[in-house]
Amino acid sequence: MATKCIEYNFREIEPHWQTFWEENHSFRAEPKLSGEKYYVLDMFPYPSGAGLHIGHPEGYTATDIIARYKRARGFNVLHPIGWDAFGLPAEQHAVKTGTHPAANTANNIANFKRQIKALGFSYDWEREINTTDPTYFRWTQWIFLQLFQRGLAYVDERPVWWCPELRTVLANEEVVDGKSEVGGFAVERRNLRQWVLRITAYADRLLADLKDVDWPESTKRMQEAWIGRSEGAEILFALEPKEVGPLKIFTTRPDTLFGCTYMVLAPEHPLVDTLTQPERKADVEAYRKLAAAKSDLERTDLAKGKSGVFSGSFAVNPVNGIRVPIWIADYVVMGYGTGAIMAVPAHDERDFEFAQQFSLPIIQVIEGGEAKLPHVGDGPLMNSPGYDGLPWPEAKCKITADLASRGVAKATVNFKLRDWLFSRQRYWGEPFPIVWVSEADYAKVKAAPGNSLPNTPVTFRANGVTQCAVPLPAARLPLELPSVQSYLPGGNGESPLANETDWLEIWYNVETGAAVPASATRPTGATWVRGRRETNTMPQWAGSCWYYLRFLDPRKPNAIASPEALRYWGTPDLYVGGAEHAVLHLLYARFWHKVLFDLGVVPTPEPFTKLFHQGIILGEDGEKMSKSRGNVVSPDTIIESHGTDTLRLYLMFLGPLEAMKPWSPRGIEGVHRFLQKVWREIIAPDGTISARITAAAAESPELTKSLHETIKKVGEDIENLRLNTAVSQMMIFVNAVQKSPGLTRESALVFLQLLAPFAPHMAEELWSRLGGADSVMLARWPVFDATRLASSEVKLVFQVNGKHRGDQMVAVGTSQDVALELAKANPRIACYLEGKEIKRVIYVAGKILNLVVG
RNA sequence: GCCCGGGUGGUGGAAUGGUAGACACUAGGGACUUAAAAUCCCUUGCCUGUAAAGGCGUGCGGGUUCGAGUCCCGCCCCGGGCACCA
């Protein structure tokens, strides 16, 4: 039932239809799991205190258009939304105010929900999820247990990025230019005990399977670069004090071995102490201290000049037995390869620079480079006895094979990808379902029936005591967060959970997973052991790694989702979100999905087969929107002033969805005018249906043709996410309506169907007023009539030597001969042909006749 | 430095190798109005010209083609990503 308003009163119309949809459950995905499915997913938001930003509705509008369009095409559409609600801002707010982060999060969610509902998005709210809900994170913890059991989670004390301001560690991916990605605070290296996920075990598959996904090329490239696969060889160099054993290095250029004139160890390399000769000790120690004090940022900043120090020791090149000096330099990093390299200054820019600085010898072993070194390019070998003249790819294989036969080399593959630092020292995250016990007690767990321990125990040694990680039984999940006195992490590398003694220190039953506070008396029975819970929590990425699966069956109590739902809905057919997640969320989620695939939980190896990044909307000034610049546009303001239909339409009309584009307050007026025009064409000034619209209205043939063109164009454009030109086409149609003597009711209804995905409230309102059945959304998407698109005449363009010299309407199917005669007879063309010979005629039927004259 | 995108009127942007500038915005002119708003009509890439028309035009320089914004080569500029990864 439509509203009664006379003018286009979006303030009345929009809430009216939003209520209608809610009451009718209009967007509920069919739970019967029948028919052809379409799953379209947005990257779910973090509900920040600032509320929705104009960038959110851009992508959300695009997916909403797709969802509404696919429903009209008869698909069973799944279009869900939820909240990625663990995270730093809520926790920082909690630290400041002392209130539980859940309270603040709930407020923010309520606000986000209000804003999103006001935009009229067709989400299935019955599937709303929240990553902080224990019924949700129970499964986040469950997936962690699967990783744990498969040996994909381990604990390690390693140099990690520590942010003193945030009092937590951060993953490599979360550190940008030596600052925390969240907040922009300085970070430093610290050795801390951390949970790490073995994402590197999946490096090859994460790389290889990129070929199977329909993603923006740039995003694939970024993941490729991040994974950073390189083929090469590990080569053993004998060391001078033979007892030390050989030095293992990694190189991608075994073909340049004869050009190796020195070796370099990273300052953190474990052999540095052993290899440093007594007389070099002072220098090396000083250098190591200096390198350790430098942040990685400084280390790269100082890339202009190389630094290093001689260890006093020598290694022997296995290929020719030549002694080469071993240096310590921070241009070699410990985290990649073996942390040691053979330096070939003639063919590597960095080695070249270093060799020049420290006057080390440079030997060219690859021909070419026009006498200019370093020559990093291709070429046959030289100065390499036994291999001279060989092309380098062959030389690589041959030298590696020859050394391998002597047991001093091995062809290997290295990745830049590091294992994923998975723990945070914070309160507001999923607790790890892990209890630490002594080695002796671990044996009891192992003996317990039905345990789910990894093949190799996860252990950690502190203060001379080895602790072993024991997973909670899945039936004990979720492990909820205890309430705490303070949300502030200690700053010593432990989370606020470390202060909650009764939660932390427990008697643990190795068979049932039951726990009682250690302060209580030990329950009787041999299965009770002393345990301490893991105090770290998971990073925010955990919850977003698998949320697209929970939407399939969000209330399922005993599984991530039912196997039927997993099979029917599969993975999103379209995933839309910002490009800023190219190597974070999108890589982590792929990793987890592959693990779930290996477990047989999901039927496909990739989570997001088709991905699209919406562009950023800049402020009016062309700068990125930010509070400090004061150029932020809130959707609330626009909804109040122009309505959400205008906002949605404008966001789509602004330009290509993927492009970065500036907001313009003037542009929005134009789109609003368009909607006003639509209203006026259908509704008379007194609020009744316009007299021009009747079942048998005098509709011009041009208008009918334009309608069918519009059906075609809008449909194709939606399929291809070219939403800006779809809007243009609708404008063209409405301009044609204005010029036509009338518009049939049928045509009007069809047009409203096309408009409905973009401006659903107005479409519903006018559809209803025109007496359309039910809701415009329940009508099947119109089909264009190809015969209506055909016209009897087309404009033929005449060109002379490729230049446009005139045109003429001609009958469709005009032959080249006829067209040529028409051209010759055309006075505008004739003058160009006078006294010239037509050497060639190019005729594109119905389009162009090009005469080449000379 | 390397890897991706881009560069089209005053502005946002359209253009399967086939009429460059669709659709909008802005600006100017006109109609309606006591007036304003709203609406409607006209003009709106640059240059020459009263006009008809012509010339020039898609960052720059070449090339392929009957025909290039589109394809190829070499530059310049802007945006994003990576960056001592051996």
Q: What does the pLDDT look like over A589-630, one tens digit per residue?
A: 999 999 999 999 999 999 999 999 999 999 888 788 887 778
* Residue-wise pLDDT tens digits, A411-422: 999 999 999 999
CA distances from A117 to A14, A24, A125, A749 (A): 10, 15, 10, 26
- Name the nucleotide with the smallest C1'–CA separation from A583: B81
Residue A316 belongs to what H/E stretch? strand A309-316
Task: Assess whether pLDDT exceeds 90 at residue A137.
Answer: yes
Q: Which residue is nearest to nucleotide B40 (CA to C1')?
A: A738
If we measure between CA atoms, which residue out of A297, A537, A336, A299 comes closest to residue A418? A336
Q: Is-contact A848 A806, C-beta < 8 A?
A: no
Window A155-214, strand B contacts by Cβ < 7 Å? 176
Residues 236-255 of A with CB under 7 A from strand B: 250-253
Is the pLDDT assigned to residue A296 strictly greater than 80?
Answer: no
Lowest-confidence pick of A164-173, A229-238, A435-444, A713-722: A164-173
A306 is near strand B: CB distance < 7 Å:
yes
What confidence score (pLDDT) does residue A204 get? Answer: 95
Indicate yes or no: strand B within 7 A of the C-beta of A831.
no
Residues 677-716 of A with CB under 7 A from strand B: 677
Residue A8 has pLDDT above 80, yes or no: yes
Closest amino acid to nucleotide B18 (CA–C1'): A848
Among protein residues, the one whose C-alpha sits closest to the C1' atom of B39 is: A677
Q: Is the CB of A669 under 7 A from strand B?
A: yes
Residue A122 Cβ < 7 Å to strand B: no
Distance CA A47, CA A76 (A): 28
Q: A171 vs A280, which has greater pLDDT?
A: A280
A299 touches strand B (CB under 7 A): yes
**Burial letters for A692-729: b for 16+ Cβ neighbours within 10 Å, e otherwise?**
bbeeebebeeebbbbbbbbbbbbbebbeebbbbbbbeb
Angstrom distance, A312 CA to B10 C1': 70
Distance A349 CA to B2 C1' (A): 13
Q: What pLDDT is recorded for position A302?
A: 46
Strands A229-239 and A262-265: unpaired
Distance of A804 CA from B68 C1′ (whole Å): 14
Which nucleotide in the DNA or RNA is closest to residue A306, CA to C1'? Answer: B84
d(CA A512, CA A531): 14
What would the DSSP string read from start to end of A775-826? -GGGSPPP---HHHH--SEEEEEEEETTEEEEEEEEETT--HHHHHHHHHH-
Contact A440, A526 (CB under 8 A): no
Which nucleotide is the nearest neighbour of A252, by CA and C1'?
B86
pLDDT over 50 (residue A546): yes
- CA-to-C1' distance for A321 and B73, Å? 47
Q: Which of residues 411-440 of A touch strand B (CB under 7 A)?
A: 414, 416
CA atom of A249 to C1′ atom of B14, Å: 57
Average pLDDT over residues A248-274: 95
The answer to whether the beta carbon of residue A516 comes closer than 7 angstroms to any atom of strand B is no
pLDDT at A728: 97
Task: Please identify residues in chain A, positions 41-80, with a C-beta within 7 angstroms of any atom of strand B.
Answer: none
Proximity of residue A454 CB to strand B below 7 A: no
**A347: pLDDT strictly greater than 70:** yes
Nucleic strand B near CB of residue A732 (< 7 Å): yes
Task: Provide the CA A629 to C1' B9 distance, Å, integer.
Answer: 30
Q: Residues A3-10: contacts with CB within 8 Å, 24+ apart?
A: A3/A765, A4/A687, A5/A687, A6/A683, A6/A685, A6/A686, A6/A687, A7/A679, A7/A687, A8/A675, A8/A676, A8/A679, A8/A683, A8/A762, A10/A642, A10/A643, A10/A644, A10/A645, A10/A646, A10/A761, A10/A762
Residue A718 CA distance to nucleotide B17 C1' (Å): 26
Contact of A401 with A257, CB cutoff 8 Å: no
CB of A735 within 7 Å of some strand B atom: yes
What's the CA–C1' distance between A584 and B79, in Å?
21
Query: How large is the ipTM?
Result: 0.95
Q: Looking at residues A358-379, what average pLDDT do you find?
A: 85
3-state secondary structure of A160: strand
Q: How far apart are the C-alpha atoms of A732 and A232, rounded to whole Å?
A: 60
Rounded Cα distance between A121 and A758, Å, is 10
The number of CA neighbours under 13 Å toward the Cβ of A598 is 15
| Distance from C-alpha of A169 to C-alpha of A175, rounded to nearest angstrom | 10
Distance A412 CA to B40 C1' (A): 75
Q: How far apart are the first and last CA of chain A?
A: 71
Please state the three-class secondary structure of A403-447 as a single string: HHHCCCEEEEEEECCCCEECCECCCCCCECCEEEEEHHHHHHHHH
Cβ of residue A221 near strand B, that is under 7 Å?
yes
Mean pLDDT computed over every residue of chain A: 92
Amino acid found at A110: A
Query: Which stretch, A40-54, A66-80, A286-300, A492-506, has highest mean pLDDT?
Result: A66-80
Residue A722, nucleotide of least CA–C1' distance: B14
- In this predicted structure, the answer to whether residue A241 has a pLDDT above a threshold of 80 is no
CB of A660 within 7 Å of some strand B atom: yes
Type and span of the H or E element at A220: helix A217-227
Residue A76, sorted as left (phi over 0), alpha (psi -120 to 50) or beta, turns out to be beta
Q: Is the CB of A674 under 7 A from strand B?
A: yes
Which positions of strand B lie within 7 Å of protein CB atoms?
Answer: 3-5, 11-16, 18-20, 22-26, 38-41, 54-55, 66-68, 79-86
Whole-number percent of chain A with pLDDT over 70: 98
What was the pLDDT predicted at A828?
Answer: 80
- Higher-pLDDT residue of A680 and A168 is A680
Distance A339 CA to B9 C1' (A): 57
The separation, in Å, between residue A225 CA and nucleotide B3 C1' comes to 8
- Higher pLDDT: A177 or A664? It is A664
- Residue A389's CB is within 10 A of a number of other CB atoms, namely 10
Give, in Å, how far the C1' of B76 lies from the CA of A165: 43
Gap from A252 CA to B33 C1', in Å? 82
A733 touches strand B (CB under 7 A): no
**Average confidence (pLDDT) over A632-640:** 93
The nucleotide lying nearest A336 (C-alpha to C1') is B85
Question: Residue A766 CA to nucleotide B36 C1', Å?
Answer: 31
pLDDT per residue as tens digits for the range A524-534: 998 999 999 99
* Cα A342 to Cα A258: distance, rounded to the nearest angstrom: 10
Q: Which nucleotide is nearest to A335 (CA to C1')?
A: B85
In this structure, is the CB of residue A795 within 7 Å of any atom belonging to strand B? yes
What does R_g of chain A's alpha carbons equal in angstroms?
34
Q: Can you tell me the mean pLDDT for A552-578? A: 96
- The C-alpha atoms of residue A795 and residue A599 are separated, in whole angstroms, by 62
Residue with the larger pLDDT of the pair A376 and A854: A376
Q: Is the CB of A331 under 7 A from strand B?
A: yes
Residues 773-792 of A with CB under 7 A from strand B: none
Measure CA to C1' and name the residue nearest B14: A725
What residues does A842 pair with on adjacent strands?
A850
Using C1' positions and the CA of A840, the closest nucleotide is B66
**Among A168, A191, A273, CA closest to A460:** A191
Q: Is the pLDDT of residue A103 over 90?
A: yes
Beta strands in A634-788 (DSSP E): 661-662, 693-694, 743-744
Q: Nearest nucleotide by C1' from A677 CA?
A: B39
Per-residue tokens: A728? 């243009």
CA→C1' distance for A602 and B35 (Å): 71
Q: Does the C-beta of A300 come within 7 A of strand B? A: yes
Task: Using the structure, give the distance in angstroms from the CA atom of A847 to the C1' atom of B49, rounded to a whole number.
Answer: 31
Q: Cβ of residue A801 near strand B, that is under 7 Å? A: yes
